[in-house]
Amino acid sequence: MDLILLILVPVLTLAALMTAKSQAQARMIAAAGTGIQLVLSVYLVIVYLLERSSGNIEQMLFTDKYVWFNTLNIYFSTGVDGISVSLILLTAIVTFTGVLASWDVDYLYKEFFISLIILSTGVFGFFISLDLFSMFLFFELAVIPMYLLIGIWGSGKKEYAAMKLTLMLMGASAILLVGLLGIYTYSSPTGSTALTFNIIEIANVEIPVEAQRYFFPMVFIGFGVLGALFPFHTWSPDGHSSAPTAVSMLHAGVLMKMGGYGCLRVAMYLLPEAANEMAWIFIILTSISIVYGAFGAIVQTDLKYINAYSSVSHCGLVLFAILMTNEIAMNGAVLQMISHGLMTALFFALIGMIYSRTHTRDIREMTGLMKVMPFLSVCYIIAGFASLGLPGLSGFVAEMTIFVGAFQNTDLFHRSVTILAASSIVITAVYILRVVAKILLGLPGSNLPAGTKDAVWNEKVVTIILIIAIAGMGLFPLWLSEMILNSLGPITEKLALLK
């Protein structure tokens, strides 16, 4: 399959959106475009699996190269392995449901969908890039529409949140850029070949350890900020809580995964020596993320803040698992990215739907929603169960794999941080069950507007798609886990060689 289609479809959708005359047209075009994208992604997964089962053991499949800046050896090279395929599928699901969840956006609707699709183009481009240059380009392309999306359509202290988020992420990308340029400079240590940005080519090169020590922290922090690495996570709660529903979904569901993916694909893969040496620093930071995020979620009273902090905790787990440098934990990391992406999208979608009915997100002001909107409430409980790792849902598969993998490091340090991180499961249960008990159970409060209805069709489609994905991943995790595991080989081999 031609991967460039994954960029082309959103671009064509954008072009079509520009011609939209009414809200109905705009949202139909957006839904059609992202729907086609979803079909394409499912198709990609199928052809990928078929190709693998027919015995193709190339590291990257469907590779392609387009000349861009010839003299600089910059190509737009694309290709996917199991990790990127699964993340592309996640992105397509979240984008499609995100469009459906913003069915009722009526203020500057055209601009809203355009920004949303630009964002998703950035994410798709990021995941199919095999080239540091285009990867960085798409990374920034995905971040910048957030400013407008939060600033214009957000709520609360949106201007502050939008500026904070954009500047922190762009600042991170600035640090990242220095790291990437460093890798580029050392991509041909002997000077025998031209310098290159191509990840696969750089992976065959030994970058001097002294250089790695400088650039690993830059790359890891640069991507890590997007993955809510402590202490650079502060953009995330403010950003999520001010963003409109679909943007929170995409942001927590997909954008934060770019951080984890970048850390895995660039920092760990290309700079393995420094990764082994310095992992302990970042393991400590991510452990703090995990526990601090969970405790943060306990004390919050705003539903979006609760889930934003919970995202900090869960995304911390992704980075934590990546740093464990073994195959099982890394497999868990990718599974956790997908699982968290799906369930956090579901959470934010539900919060948006509940908010549009109750006009408050403060859990102290809501009670007994189960009686008023049973469908949404049940969905919320399912999302909550997925989040606290109930077997049968996606969270269990991911977290279990991570902790099993992490515990395989036999030294005291790794074991103790693993135990510490595992304790977050308990804390997660506390804040999830607290919210469920507080807002869903009990008698309906008097402050609900009269005639509040349960979910309408587009909301049902959103939640059902996401729940099917979550449950599907929980019940049939094997093919996904296999697909990812088979692609982790090159990365873990490089890391294991050095131990």
Partner 1 sequence: MRHEIMLIIAAVIILIIELSTGKDNKSMMIPAAVILFSLVTFIGFLPIETGKLFGGSYNTSDMIILMKNSLNIGVLIVIIQSAGWLKHSFENFDNSGGYFFIIISSLIGMDFMISSGDFLMFYIGLELTTIPIAALAAIEKMKRRSSEAGIKLILSAALSSGILLFGISILYATNGSLFFSSLSSDNMNSSLQLLAFIFVFTGVAFKISLVPFHLWTADVYEGAPVNVSSFLSSISKASAIFILIILLFTVFNSLISVWNTVLYFTAVITMTIGNLFAMRQQNMKRFLAFSSIAQAGFIPLGIIGGTQFGISAVIYFLLIYIFSNLGAFGVVSAISNASGKENMDEYNGLYKTNPKLSLVMMLSLFSLAGIPPVAGFFGKFFLFTAAAVQGYYILVFIAVVNATISLYYYLLVVKAMFINNSDSPIEYIKNDNYTKAGLLICVLGIIIIGFAGIIFEFIESASTGI
CB 350 within 8 A of CB 369: no
Applying CB under 8 A, among 84, 91, 166, 212 the residue interacting with partner 1 is 166
Q: What token pair was written down for 314?
A: 């869960």
Pairing assessment for the beta strands 74-80 and 61-69 based on DSSP bridges: antiparallel
Applying CB under 8 A, among 148, 255, 402, 470 the residue interacting with partner 1 is 148
| Site mask for partner 1 (CB under 8 A), range 274-313, x = bound | ----------------------------------------
Q: How far apart are CA 363 and CA 379, in angstroms?
A: 17
Applying CB under 8 A, the site for partner 1 has a residue count of 35
- Using the contact rule CB under 8 A, the part of the chain among 136-144, 270-278, 329-337, 476-484 near partner 1 is 136-144
Question: In the complex with partner 1, which residue's Cβ is closer, 76 or 431?
Answer: 76
Q: What token pair was written down for 183?
A: 């890798």
Q: Is 64 in the site for partner 1 (CB under 8 A)?
A: no
Residue bearing tokens 């997100």: 361
Q: What token pair was written down for 140?
A: 């920034």
Partners of residue 76 on adjacent β-strands: 66
Spell out the residues 6+ positions from residue 30 whose beta carbon is closer than 8 angstroms to its own.
13, 17, 99, 113, 116, 117
Q: Is 12 in the site for partner 1 (CB under 8 A)?
A: no
In whole angstroms, the minimum distance from the beta carbon of 155 to partner 1 comes to 13
CB 29 within 8 A of CB 13: yes
Applying CB under 8 A, among 5, 49, 60, 171 the residue interacting with partner 1 is 171
| Site mask for partner 1 (CB under 8 A), range 184-223, x = bound | xx---------x------------------x---------
Question: In the complex with partner 1, which residue's Cβ is closer, 182 or 293?
Answer: 182
What is the maximal distance between C-alpha atoms in the chain?
75
In whole angstroms, the minimum distance from the beta carbon of 71 to partner 1 comes to 5
CB 65 within 8 A of CB 438: no
What SS3 state is found at 156? coil
Applying CB under 8 A, among 51, 64, 104, 159 the residue interacting with partner 1 is 159
Applying CB under 8 A, among 8, 15, 50, 67 the residue interacting with partner 1 is 67
Say if residue 231 is preceded by a cis peptide, omega within 30 of 0.
yes
Residues in touch with partner 1 (CB under 8 A): 67-72, 74, 133, 137-138, 140-141, 144, 147-148, 151-152, 158-159, 162-163, 166-167, 170-171, 174-175, 177-178, 181-182, 184-185, 195, 214
